[in-house]
Amino acid sequence: MGTKQLEKTYNPSGMEDRIYHRWLEKGYFHAQVNPDKKPFTIIMPPPNITGQLHMGHALDNTMQDILIRWKRMEGYEALWQPGTDHAAIATEVKVTNMLKDKGIDKHQIGREEFLKYCWQWKDEYGSRILKQLQKIGCSADWDRERFTMDEGCSRAVETVFVKLYEKGWIYKGNRIINWCPKCQTSLSDAEVEHVDQDGFFWHIKYPIVGEEGRFVEIATTRPETLLGDTAVAVNPDDDRYKDLVGKMLKLPLTDRVIPVIADAYVDKEFGTGCVKITPAHDPNDFQVGKRHHLEEINILNDDATMNSLCGKYAGMDRYEARKAMVEDLKEQGLLVKVVPITHSVGTHDRCHTTVEPMLKPQWFVKMDEMAKAALEVVKTDDLNFVPEHFEKTYTHWLENIQDWCISRQLWWGHRIPAYYCDDCGEVVVRAGGAPDVCPKCGGRHFTQDPDSLDTWFSSALWPFSTLGWPDDTPELRYFYPTDVLVTGYDIIFFWVIRMVFSALEQTGKSPFKYVLIHGLVRDDKGRKMSKSLGNGIDPLEVIDKYGADALRLTLMTGNAPGNDMRFYWERVENSRNFCNKIWNATRFILMNLERQQAPEHISTEELTPADRWILSKANTLAKDVTENMDKFELGIAVQKVYDFLWDEFCDWYIEMVKPRLYSDDDQTKGAALWTLKTVLIQGLKLLHPFMPFITEELFTSLQDKEETIMRSAWPAFREDWSDPQEEKEIDAVKDAVRAIRNVRTGMNVPPSKKAKVIVVSDDEEVRGIFERNRVFFAALGMASEVKVQKDKEGVAESSASCVIHNATIFMPMEELVDVSKEIERLEKEQKRLEGELKRSDSMLGNERFLSKAPEAKVAEEKAKREKYAQLMRQVTERLQQLRK
């Protein structure tokens, strides 16, 4: 018997915290190097230290927990490596705002003091989200918690930076980067979100020098960048402008002249065929500028105000300057027209500010060689995407990858380990702090580069830096490469690609074998959850109301890799109802086990057909669920366990065995108890990875040989439990019972009213099935007596009947209903339906109604008419049957 009493009603609050605390105390989540076991590793995508648990985290981490718990039960040394990310931009913004509220300016207190506040913030809020993950039951190895800026991870970052720099793959260059004027930092392409915005094409005339009254017309979406133009380009094959190439243009609103150049970059068919070239503010123009040796003029300050080169517009915000310049162009007769357009505009994915392409000296990683290696690894099967089609996204991104801008103008983060000699300007890149002496001039004073590294630079090393790399640790040798990365499809290029090329370059191995991609959790209308829509649902609120198990089941039901899912509160209630169902079933079994203990062991010969059927079903379920789990079909797997426990076990088997449990003389009572307990434990084990808390509570109540379900063995298929013939037989009986129930429901027969049931079949095998299973067929089919025969001899013509595969079932009508009363009731119903049909036909025959009423109203009336007609057919059929 179990070790404790079960509460009368299922109540997750309190129970889940108690169980989780016990798991932590016992160290069940801890994994260690164990040569006797195969390792299985998942690294947790590190949530931001500024993070608050949302539905995306809940789904992502539930999926990881399911896989880890399953593999742990399968006998693997399963490590789920947790940790947090320093989230440079987000944290810097939070801390800056916090200081602002206190009246402190970060630039006045300086870098060192500011970083102290950042570390205080990290200490206070850094593990908040991990504590929230514990609420959903995450069984990560919390003893091994890491942070992207802890000592080990920081050493890994410096090591990689130095190695890539020495290899010539990290360089400092003056190139166009994405600049966020609000956060005042550079961004990588992956951090720029392209959104459609309403804008304009301003068509502007640039006068040709020396040819009075002659102009070229350009069209631009950003007139303010005109001040940084250094040429106008035309296509060399464009006959319209061949005579202009080499001529000079007067740049409007300035005293500068700029050349007309020919470059194949210009699309003859687009716009006017003349393109203004602003090398310091557009990545394509930058390339054109390099080819033609054009001057690069930056006209913006870091806060997107116009700089001192902008004359009367200096100091204006970029949009204010745009307005003023358009007015001035209009006044000078140089504005041709303004055409409204909708176009894609780059914005910072965090603060949603429109990003400015700007020319700035930044640090870059050369991508060509590392991208090749990352492309190769999907061809060799060392890296697999689930679903497979996401490989295309991965490949497309790598084939079009640009050099990665890794420097950020932030203080919080890994500071770039580059030191400039104060005496001669020599750059020294090294790990472990500034050099003692300059290798070039012997100087001893250095200034470190003020920039820090892109956050993704450190999280790209996460799969191996968390296991001790660059040191050759036992953990790294045993747990690496990891097995599965679980992540959303929106982060493939941000993070997955960077982990792959970094791991291949530093360790020679793919960081994981599988990337399991999931979709987004959307609201019940299919919208993305967001602060602006106010439609986000807090997972902690769901847990408070329904428990973590109900939340987890809801997130996994119907979940298919790569697909978005919708969140409905009704589904959480269904999940909670399932918890109640298995809770009450366990209590029912425990009450019966109090009266009589189940035998420890039993031979299959001692089991009844019903026992062998449910045992075989549970056995088949173990095989099917394991196959689904192997393919990462977690939603299908949990649906099968759910259906088995709710339908086969609770609704059918428990009902089948009740007569045996209630009879003191029944010799098979022990077999029933053994089967109930064995099959329920089997079902709970298969359910455990999905719903860890309730399964632990029920498992430890049912038995006391094992102290936790977490460390019990995953059910394996057993030949001696397999009985396909018994499964087939009981399924036939179930079909018959369903058919009988449908007939009785259709005739409003109360469940308490029993009637004779006659099974007629000329198939000897079918007759044998019903003879052998007569006992519970009688109980479930509400039968006063069961007769099984070859033909219809003795069956009254007026009997109610239903057809199943290879047999017909009859029930004497007079035993089911009072025929005269039933005829009277049906005649009344027939009259009512005649009235409804008449009313409906009159409405649908009315042209005025059809033309004036809303489409939905007409459709609703047609659906009602169809329903009444169907009910009328059924009532008429029943009346004919009864009048016979």
d(CA 465, CA 457) in angstroms, rounded, equals 12
Q: What is the DSSP string of 447-515?
A: EE-S-EE-HHHHHTTHHHHTTTTTS--HHHHHH-SEEEEEEEGGGIIIIIHHHHHHHHHHHSS-SEEEE
Beta partners for residue 348, in sequence order: 192
Type of residue found at 409 = Q
Share of the chain above pLDDT 90, in %: 65
**Regarding predicted confidence, which is higher, 703 or 780?**
703
The residue-averaged pLDDT of 242-262 equals 93
Res. 444 pLDDT band, cuts 50 70 90: very high
Tell me: pLDDT of 3 over 60: no
- The pair of structure tokens assigned to 490 is 């929106």
Domain boundaries, the chain: 185-357, 568-709, 728-817, 820-883
CA 121 – CA 118 distance, rounded (Å): 5
Decide: 727 and 620 in contact? Cβ < 8 Å. Answer: yes
What pLDDT band is residue 824 in, cutting at 50, 70 and 90?
confident
Burial of 310-328, coded b for 16+ CB within 10 Å and e otherwise, reads beebeebebeebbebbbee
At residue 339, the 3 state secondary structure works out as strand
Does domain 185-357 correspond to CATH entry 2.60.40.420?
no
Higher-confidence residue: 144 or 815? 144
> What's the pLDDT band for 1 if we cut at 50, 70, 90?
very low
Cα–Cα distance for residue pair 777/482, rounded to 1 Å:
52
Q: Which of 103, 97, 47, 114 is nearest to 413 (CA)?
A: 114
Whether 728-817 and 820-883 share one fold: the answer is no
Binding-site members are 531
Return the higher-pLDDT residue of 187 and 238. 238
End-to-end Cα distance, the chain:
58
Q: What is the predicted pLDDT for the residue at 542? A: 93
pLDDT surpasses 90 at 679: yes
DSSP string, 636-662: HHHHHHHHIIIIIIIIIIHHHHHHHHH
Average pLDDT over residues 350-378: 91
Percent of the chain predicted with pLDDT > 70: 99
637, burial (CB in 10 Å: exposed 0-12, middle 13-18, buried 19+): buried
- Look-up: residue for tokens 């987004």? 520
User: Is residue 877 over pLDDT 50?
Assistant: yes
Q: Is 33 exposed, middle or buried (0-12, 13-18, 19+ CB in 10 A)?
A: middle
Residue 33 · residue 733 · CB < 8 Å: no
Sign of torsion over alpha carbons 308, 314, 316, 321: negative
- Asked whether the predicted pLDDT for residue 407 surpasses 80, the reply is yes
Locate the DSSP E strands across 90-142: none
Q: How far apart (Å, rounded) are the C-alpha atoms in residues 799 and 778?
A: 18
User: How confident is the model over 379-399, as a mean pLDDT?
Assistant: 92
Six token digits for residue 837: 């049909």
Weakest-pLDDT range from 12-26, 304-318, 859-873: 859-873
| Residue 808: Cβ within 10 Å count | 16
Contact 558, 150 (CB under 8 A): no
- Contact yes or no for 580/555 (Cβ under 8 A): no
pLDDT tens for 134-185 read 999 999 999 999 999 999 999 999 999 999 999 999 999 888 889 999 888 8
* Nearest of 752, 753, 879 to residue 812 by alpha carbon: 753
SS3 867: helix
Show the tokens assigned to 124.
Answer: 């206070």
For tokens 């932590």, the residue is: 24
Comparing 3-12, 130-139, 268-277, 386-395, the range with the smallest average pLDDT is 3-12
- Exposed e or buried b per residue across 859-877, where buried means at least 16 C-beta atoms within 10 angstroms of its C-beta: eebeebbeebeebbeebee
- CA-CA distance, 750 to 766, in Å (whole number)? 28
Q: With the C-alpha atoms ordered 383, 385, 389, 393, is the resulting torsion angle positive or negative?
A: negative
Strand partners, 202: 220, 338
Half-sphere exposure of 836 (CA within 13 A, CB side): 18
User: Span 110-132, mean pLDDT?
Assistant: 92
Task: Give residue 799's pLDDT.
Answer: 82
A 10 A CB-CB count for 372 gives 12
pLDDT band at 537 (very low <50, low <70, confident <90, very high): confident
**Half-sphere exposure (Cβ direction) of 81: Cα atoms closer than 13 Å:** 27
Identity of the amino acid at 166 = E
Query: Given this model, what pLDDT does residue 560 score?
Result: 82
Give the pLDDT band of residue 531 (cuts 50, 70, 90): low
Q: Please give the pLDDT value at position 653.
A: 94
How large is the average pLDDT for residues 771-798?
Answer: 85
Domain range 820-883, its CATH number among 1.10.10, 1.10.287, 1.10.730, 1.20.120: 1.10.287
Quick check: 426 pLDDT over 90? yes
Q: Which of the following CATH numbers is that of domain 728-817: 3.30.2320.20, 3.30.465.10, 3.20.20.60, 3.50.50.60?
A: 3.30.2320.20
Buried b (16+ CB within 10 A) or exposed e, 602-630: beeeebbbbbbbbbbbbbbbbebbbebbe
**pLDDT tens across 746-774, in order?**
888 888 889 999 999 999 999 998 888 88
DSSP letters for 783-813: EEEEEEESS-TT--TT-EEEEETTEEEEE-H
Average pLDDT, the chain: 91
Q: Which helix (H) or strand (E) holds 161?
A: helix 151-166
Cβ-contact 795, 758 below 8 angstroms: yes
| Number of CB atoms found within 10 A of residue 15's CB | 17
pLDDT at 798 over 80: no
Return d(Cα 815, Cα 810) in angstroms, integer: 11
Confidence of residue 445 (pLDDT cuts 50, 70, 90): very high
| Mean of pLDDT values over 373-380 | 93
- Quickly state the pLDDT bin for 880 (edges 50, 70, 90): confident
Give mean pLDDT, residues 488-505: 87
Within 276-422, residue ranges assigned H as helices are: 283-292, 318-331, 368-379, 390-399
Phi/psi for 519 (5° steps) reads: -90, -165
Confidence of residue 783 (pLDDT cuts 50, 70, 90): confident
Which pLDDT tens digit goes with each residue over 726-741? 888 888 888 989 988 9
Distance CA 325, CA 597 (A): 91
Residues 486 and 515: their CA atoms lie apart, in Å, by 6
Phi, psi of 337 (to 5 degrees): -160, 165
Least reliable range by pLDDT among 338-342, 490-494, 717-721: 490-494
Predicted local confidence at residue 458, as pLDDT:
94
Q: List phi, psi (to 5°) of 861.
A: -65, -40
The binding site for ATP comprises 531
- As its CATH architecture, domain 568-709 has Orthogonal Bundle (1.10)
**CB atoms closer than 10 angstroms to residue 89:** 24
